[in-house]
Amino acid sequence: MAEARPTATGPGRALIAVYAVFALAATARAGVQLATRFSEAPVAYLLSAFSGVVYILATVGLARSGPGARRLAWTAVLVELVGVLVVGSLSVFDPVAFPRATVWSGYGAGYGWVPLVLPVLGLLWLFRTGRRLGPADH
């Protein structure tokens, strides 16, 4: 039986590195916010923590091989895309609901829109590497 191409090779390594940086940045930022200013904007800070967890799961899923890791990566990257679109839209159309920015506010504007582009690149990479290896590829 043919197997999928590994996601942690070639351009996938750069993608994983960016995910790892965002996992660290979002988780650390949320940790500080939750510990020091939770009462100011609990929803925003909890969403930042959630995004950090999503980035961690995406990083792990993309860095590992096997069908379970691939499912994890697909799930995490899809949740990330939905999250950035929903939170981004809510923060733009109802800014009062988000008195403090999250990683996904304004579609990731505070992070150079990388949070909007990253899941698209992640999904494209998962799709591309999900094609089966044939005899000519070995």
Could you tell me the two tokens for 45?
Answer: 């800070």
Distance CA 138, CA 57 (A): 30
Tens digit of each residue's pLDDT, the chain (138 residues): 457 788 999 999 999 999 999 999 999 999 999 999 999 989 989 999 999 999 999 999 999 999 999 999 999 999 999 999 999 999 999 988 888 888 999 999 999 999 999 999 999 999 999 876 555 544
* Residue (of 57, 48, 59) closest to 25 by Cα position: 48
Query: Which pLDDT does position 84 carry in this prediction?
Result: 97
8 Å CB contact between 126 and 74: yes
Query: Which pLDDT does position 16 carry in this prediction?
Result: 98
Could you tell me the two tokens for 37?
Answer: 């200013």
CB 120: neighbour CB atoms within 10 A?
Answer: 13
Distance CA 105, CA 132 (A): 37
- Per-residue b or e along 73-103, where b marks 16 or more CB atoms closer than 10 Å to that residue's CB: bbebbbbbbebbeebbebbeeeeeebeebbb
Could you tell me the two tokens for 32?
Answer: 């500080």
Query: Which pLDDT does position 1 carry in this prediction?
Result: 45
pTM: 0.90
Could you tell me the two tokens for 75?
Answer: 């799930």
Distance CA 64, CA 50 (A): 21
DSSP letter at 6 equals P
Query: Which pLDDT does position 97 carry in this prediction?
Result: 81
Query: Which pLDDT does position 135 carry in this prediction?
Result: 53
